Amino acid sequence: ELFDGLMEASGGGARLRYESAAGACTPFVAALRRLADAGERPTRLRGCLSGTLGAVSTWVQAGEPLDRAVERAQSEGLTEPDPVEDLSGADVARKALILGRTAGWRIDEVDLSPFEGVGETAVPRYVATVEDGAASVALEDVGESDPLRGLSGTDNGLEVATRDAYRDSPLFIRGVGAGASATAAGVVADVVDLLNRRA
């Protein structure tokens, strides 16, 4: 109800910007809005939405123990003030809700599996999936043909399948997903976009 109210009060989202809430400075929200403007209805969203957990996964995959990788991410300013917020998956679940609602689904809950067992998978990725109005977040061991396999460090990636143009070959968007400068760049871009629309 709050999301619907914000969208309605802002002219269908025309005066509402929240890119940094879902992808730092990577334009996931902008891409979904552009697809909607073109009449493209998403059928599935799938992606890695935490630069923090992406970095931790990369380091663990390279042989670093999980606790040391988390400490490293915290010392580099990549985690939430309490890293448990990242490891619980709550941050990724929020982003899945934001993107799912932006894509037009009325989602209230996310089936959430915490970030566990990362050292037990060969190519670990913490993946959010939104499809048919349902959202889930879980650790996956991605295969060779999976576009999420190519992500490293703080990269985020979102694969968008639609009913028509991107049905057989989904759109894939990739970019930096963590860090103060990346998030600040996303906020600045949103502010500039709103100012340009008023001009």
pLDDT tens-digit readout, 70-101:
999 999 988 888 899 899 999 999 999 999 99
How much is the pLDDT for 199? Answer: 56
User: Residue 113 CB: number of other CB atoms within 10 A?
Assistant: 13
Burial class (CB in 10 A: 0-12, 13-18, 19+), 169: exposed
- Mark whether 65 is an active-site residue: no
Q: What is the mean pLDDT of the chain?
A: 90
Q: Give the predicted TM-score (pTM) of the model.
A: 0.90
Across the range 109-118, mean pLDDT stands at 91
What's the CA angle centered on 182, arms 179 and 184, to 5 degrees? 105
Across the range 19-39, mean pLDDT stands at 90
pLDDT tens-digit readout, 142-167:
999 999 999 999 999 999 999 999 99
User: Cβ(96)–Cβ(128) under 8 Å?
Assistant: yes
CA 75 to chain centre: 22
How much is the pLDDT for 126? Answer: 95
Q: Which of 22, 42, 57, 95 is catalytic?
A: 95
